[in-house]
Amino acid sequence: MTGQRLAWVMAAAVLVAGCGDKPQQNGDSQVVLIGQASPLTGPQAHLGKDNENGARMALDEINAAGLTLGGKKVVLEMRSEDDAADPKTATTVAQKLVDEGVVGVIGHLNSGATIPASKIYFDNGIPQISPSATAVAYTASGFKTAFRVMTNDAQQGTVLGDYAVTKLGAKRIAIIDDRTAYGQGLADEVEKAAKAAGGDVVAREYTSDRSTDFMAILTSIKGKSPDLVFFGGMDPQAAPMIKQMKQLGMKAKFLGGDGAQTPNFIDLAGAAAEGAMASNPGLPLDAMPGGSAFKAKFEAKYGQIQNYSPYAYDAMHVLVAAMKRADSSDPAKYLAELPKTDYQGVTGHIRFDAKGDLAGGAVTLYQVKNGKWQTLETVQSGK
Amino acid sequence: MDIFLQQLINGLVLGSVYALVALGYTMVYGILELINFAHGEITMMGAMVALSVIGALALAAPGLPGVLVLGAGLVVAIPVCVALGLLIERVAYRPLRHAPRLAPLITAIGVSIILQNVAMLIWGKQYIPFPAILPQGRHTLYGASITDVQIAILLLATAIMLLLILMVQKTRLGRAMRATAQSRQVASLMGVDVNRVIAATFAIGSALAAVAGVMVSAYYGLAHYYMGFLLGLKAFSAAVLGGIGNLGGAMLGGLLLGLIESFGAGYIGDLTGGFLGSNYQDVFAFFVLIAVLVFRPSGLLGARVVERA
Amino acid sequence: MSSVLSLNKTRSRWLTFGLLALGLALLPFLVDAGLGRSWVRLLDLALLYVILALGLNIVVGYAGLLDLGYVAFYALGAYVYAWLSSPHFGLHLPFWAVLPLGAALAALFGVLLGAPTLRLRGDYLAIVTLGFGEIIRIFLNNLNAPVNITNGPQGINLIDPVRLGSFDLSQSHALFGYTFTGIHLTYYLFLLFTLMVIFISMRLEDSRIGRAWVAIREDEIAAAATGINTRNLKLLAFAMGATFGGLAGGLFASFQGFISPESFNLMESIMILCMIVLGGMGHIPGVIFGAVVLTLLPEALRYTGDWQRNLFGQIYIDPADLRMLLFGVALVAVMLYRPAGLLPSTRRRREFADAQG
């Protein structure tokens, strides 16, 4: 009798499983797709791959630990797409992920790609967590599906501007930006914060992300004798700029954002780099709460950490934690849980503000000493 | 006053680099009436090749004096660029010498894209640092500063330009070049081997480009596969400003453009009360270009009629 | 006898036409089913580039004026749409008012660019237009201060999609018992505009104006001598080309929802030029072919990355880099071996043959 009943139950279960509208059934567990988008080709391929690896490591851990949602065993699967860091390709890729039926997305890497893609995720109700996009515009759209686990440009700029005046004691500040979305956004925030802290912005000059000659604007800045020059832009400009400052005999301090806080900056600027300061959002890896453990695990599996993989790792955990709280992988259901995130991750304590930005994102300042970037201090952005 | 003097120095150094590159454009245009779009990329190739040699030497023999290492870089870069220039002329321009005007211009753009991408495949997408091998001396002059490298650029550029003018005016090849520029057909009737003269023009232009490329990368301390494009465009503007086809014009145009950019970026903010800033620096070159072409198409010194279909 | 023949001919023509129409109407569904929805999106983009390429074709292909700053008109159209139909200025005008305005402003700039450059020919014109394109881009990139007009490098976000009353083209709609997604509907809208542009181009080609342009392209002095008003016709070519560029820009802004100056750089101009050179300058089917192939090419090249990874275990040549390299090689190779393009018009082929001979 019992044997017979068991057989019936099993037959019914097979039948139900066979009739289920989700084709992705694997034994008695359900496959849930999560998207990842970053540049896997092009100049930033190494960063994109790093993000992918970070997200994958989290995914593997979650699967290994076992995930049950709505009483069913769930296996997560990642769909990784290459957006080539290009806005147009990003929208194509976003559409592809939505078509494939992902329930959430970790990505994209660059702000330029993240912003147009976020509209597609929003239109389809798919939650998105970017591990690395910093432009303010990404979360300013008001899309309730857009989140990030990275300090944004406004938070970084505010810290930098304030730091320049209060900690570095700069009274007269000159600001240069490279007229890219990143450089201009950051420089504007620095200007605001520096003025708010009582600093005097004596010059605002501009260059482009292709220039290597800054003599004209630096000469004009020199005439206004600032104590500090801030540059919003990337290392290929920051390096010759600091060299030319030395050539012109300028004594002002040099401060940059994360675009300048790279090993390449020191290679390109050589001896002129000594004493330059720059910031990077987040904590240095060795200061992250779970940094050293993450580093050991990650490097055993994928090799050297490039930059944002800890953030991609945390983003995946944050996404799945929301699913767990909602007890569902249905985006319509677990999206409501994301804003309530309160997660202790590798990169720090992750909570979101009303816009989906990281609340109280940290910014770390570094200085070149003896040809190496050394940590000065970490500042929490006041929010 | 010290600011003014400093901007003057900045402009002259920048301008003499433009002038060197502009010479290449103007020589080719003078003879073929073709904008050799790829000329900027040859400059880039020169910088890249020289930098590879210099980088390798600086590692292999760190004790060598900087000027010697730089010279070695040039010695390798010049023949490479000359060969490249000849190859481009042979493959992409010569077969189209009698095709409609649009055709060689489009191949020129194509060659320029190819060179950029080949350079990117060989040397990667990162900016490459120029090793610190040159003397870093700095002199102060009435409150303005000038470095050894800047002085060297000014001297070298002037010397090269004088030599070039001498060559064109005094030698047989120079005479043949002038004859070919006036009329290719008549020159060939007079026994000038036109193909050889054109090839020689490309070779000389490419050699100048190699020197300019090395100068630029030594001055700014870096090189990049994209560096030739904007430099080429500005140099071309300089050539047009001075009067294309005219060697003296290219030099004048280059220096003027350098000064315009320097003073423009330095003073525009103060002059317009902050309404326009240095963000419009790159507009100056294009604006000058358009204004010259519209109001005085033959340029400042050019006497030739440029409007030819 | 002959009337029967011509009747047959007309009938077969209508048949071809009908089949073509049916094919175009079903295309997004076939592509969706066969290749996935992201390819429908690419199809939308391809149509956009067909419009752009046909616009540039008028200037370069018909009138023979090499314009390297064409992307400026595309940018203007996009920005007009963004200004009048986004939260940037708080204006939300309907698309049927905004698109013509964008096209008209682009046309005005076409004339503004054309007027001073009338005297210039060939390569000088190319350089001046290149400069013009860069100037427009630099201004768009910097006009966020002192008065915020373009929002600078940050670009303009949240641009309205095309809406007719309450019918929002970016959302899915159930029509005739079938759900049409936004990108399917966009396809039909873009197709409509593309067909319109093709129709205008075809009519122009065979008109007095079109023949006059060809005459100017062949020999401007001879054209002027035969009584053609070269000044007005050249301006008209610039204006017409710019109009199509502006139209495409508006459509792009509505489709993408976000625009910034980096989308309108020189490479974009060169890519559009590649399309018409590759397909065949001055020949409509050739230009359409070139635009479609070059839009889909990067997506197709993406697979070379997978092949390389499967074959060698790593990627040697990045597909994105391969694309640019191929563009360059294609420009040179086409000019050397098939100067009239891959799908040349008979007239153009003759012309190049004459020149070579």
pLDDT in tens, A315-324: 999 999 999 9
Mean pLDDT of B265-291: 79
Give the domain range for residue A333.
23-151+287-352
At A84, which CATH number? Answer: 3.40.50.2300
Does residue A369 sit in the same domain as residue A224?
A: yes
- The more confidently predicted of residues B248 and B268 is B248
Residue B226's pLDDT is: 87
Q: Give all chains having 3 or more CB-to-CB distances under 8 Å with chain C.
A: A, B
Q: How far is C170 from chain A (nearest CA, A)?
A: 8
Residue A383's pLDDT is: 45
Q: Which range is least confidently modeled, A67-71, A94-98, A110-114, C25-29?
A: C25-29
| Cα–Cα distance, C264 to A51 (Å, whole number) | 28
Residue A18's pLDDT is: 38
Distances C240 to A64, B70, C54 between C-alpha atoms, Å:
62, 53, 10
Number of domains in chain C: 1
Model confidence at A1, pLDDT cuts 50, 70, 90, reads very low
Does residue A228 sit in the same domain as residue A261?
A: yes
Q: Is residue C19 part of a domain?
A: no
Does residue A369 sit in the same domain as residue A300?
A: no
Strands, DSSP E only, in chain C? 85-86, 91-92, 163-164, 167-168, 173-175, 178-180
At a CB cut-off of 8 Å and minimum separation 6, what does B241 contact? B249, B252, B253, B256, B257, B288, B289, B292, B299, B300
Contact across the interface for B110 and C330, Cβ inside 8 Å: yes
Distances A103 to A36, A58, A75, B120 between C-alpha atoms, Å:
11, 16, 13, 38
Q: Is residue B37 part of a domain?
A: yes
Smallest CA-to-CA distance from C273 within C103, C96, C74, C31 is with C74
Residue B144's pLDDT is: 86
Does residue A140 sit in the same domain as residue A224?
A: no
Residue B90 DSSP one-character state: I
| Cα–Cα distance, A185 to C218 (Å, whole number) | 50
Q: How many CB atoms lie within 10 A of CB B49?
A: 26
Q: Which helix (H) or strand (E) holds A14?
A: helix A2-19
Q: Are C186 and C163 in contact (CB under 8 A)?
A: no
SS3 C212: helix
Residue A52's pLDDT is: 93
Residue A23's pLDDT is: 42
Which residue bears the tokens 């279909």? Answer: B309
Q: Is residue A367 part of a domain?
A: yes
Residue A12's pLDDT is: 45
For residue A180, the chain C residues in CB contact (below 8 A) are 153, 262
Listed ranges A22-31, A373-382, C158-167, C201-210; the one with the highest mean pLDDT: C201-210
Q: Is residue C163 part of a domain?
A: yes
Q: Give all chains having 3 or more CB-to-CB distances under 8 Å with chain B.
A: A, C
Q: Is residue A9 part of a domain?
A: no
Residue A9 pLDDT more than 50? Answer: no
At a CB cut-off of 8 Å and minimum separation 6, what does C290 contact? C53, C274, C275, C276, C277, C278, C279, C280, C341, C342, C343
> In this complex, which of B11, B226, B278 lies closest to A217 when CB atoms are compared?
B278
| Cα–Cα distance, A99 to A79 (Å, whole number) | 11
Query: How do residues B93-135 score in pLDDT, each as one tens digit?
Result: 999 888 877 788 889 989 999 999 999 889 988 888 888 788 8
For chain C, give the percent of residues with pLDDT over 90.
33
Residue C316 pLDDT more than 80? Answer: no
Does residue A292 sit in the same domain as residue A345?
A: yes
- Would you state the structure tokens that stand for residue C160, as one six-digit string? 């309205």
Contact across the interface for A181 and C153, Cβ inside 8 Å: yes
Q: Give all chains having 3 or more CB-to-CB distances under 8 Å with chain A.
A: B, C
Residue A14's pLDDT is: 41
Model confidence at B253, pLDDT cuts 50, 70, 90, reads very high
Residue A227: phi and psi, rounded to 5, are -90, -20
Residue C351's pLDDT is: 66
List the single residue in A with minimal CA-CA distance to B130: A268
- The more confidently predicted of residues B190 and C145 is B190
Q: Is residue B40 part of a domain?
A: yes
Residue B309 pLDDT more than 50? Answer: no
Residue A233 DSSP one-character state: S
Q: How far is C151 from chain B (nearest CA, A)?
A: 14
Give B45-80 as a DSSP string.
HHHHHHHHHHHHHHHH-TTS-HHHHHHHHHHHHHHH
Does residue A193 sit in the same domain as residue A252?
A: yes
Q: Which range is least confidently modeled, B155-169, B244-258, C108-122?
A: C108-122
Instruction: State how beta strands A105-107 and A128-130 pair.
Output: parallel
Query: How do residues B35-46 score in pLDDT, each as one tens digit?
Result: 888 999 999 999
| Cα–Cα distance, B52 to B128 (Å, whole number) | 9
Residue A369's pLDDT is: 95
Distances C243 to C73, C80, C197, C249, C252 between C-alpha atoms, Å:
8, 13, 10, 10, 14
Q: Is residue A18 part of a domain?
A: no
Residue A99 pLDDT more than 90? Answer: no
Give the domain range for residue C216.
36-266
Does residue A43 sit in the same domain as residue A125?
A: yes
Query: How do residues A220-264 score in pLDDT, each as one tens digit?
Result: 999 999 999 999 998 889 999 999 999 898 999 999 998 899 888
Query: How do residues A131-168 score in pLDDT, each as one tens digit?
Result: 999 888 899 888 999 999 999 999 999 999 999 999 99
Q: Is residue C327 part of a domain?
A: no
> In this complex, which of C37, C157, C318 lies closest to A41 when CB atoms are compared?
C318
- Would you state the structure tokens that stand for residue C306, as one six-digit string? 């997978």
Q: Is residue A5 part of a domain?
A: no
- Chain B interface test: which of C136, C315, C331 (most B C-beta within 10 Å): C331
Number of domains in chain B: 1
For residue C131, the chain B residues in CB contact (below 8 A) are 237, 285-287, 289-290
Contact across the interface for B283 and C141, Cβ inside 8 Å: no
Q: Which range is least confidently modeled, A219-233, B7-21, B199-213, C321-335?
A: C321-335
- Chain A interface test: which of C88, C258, C262, C268 (most A C-beta within 10 Å): C258
Q: Which range is least confidently modeled, C77-91, C113-127, C198-212, C261-275?
A: C113-127
Which residue bears the tokens 């008001």? Answer: A142
Give the domain range for residue B117.
20-227
Q: How many CB atoms lie within 10 A of CB C356?
A: 13
Q: Is residue B54 part of a domain?
A: yes
Q: Is residue C149 part of a domain?
A: yes
Residues making up chain A, counted from first to last: 383
Model confidence at A169, pLDDT cuts 50, 70, 90, reads very high
Mean pLDDT of C80-84: 95
SS3 A227: coil
Does residue A192 sit in the same domain as residue A308?
A: no
Residue A16's pLDDT is: 39
Residue A15 pLDDT more than 70? Answer: no
Does residue A205 sit in the same domain as residue A341?
A: no
Residue C175 pLDDT more than 80? Answer: no
Mean pLDDT of C285-303: 86
Does residue A375 sit in the same domain as residue A238?
A: yes
Does residue A369 sit in the same domain as residue A275?
A: yes
Number of domains in chain A: 2
Q: If you average pLDDT over every residue of chain B, what do you get?
A: 87
Model confidence at B1, pLDDT cuts 50, 70, 90, reads low
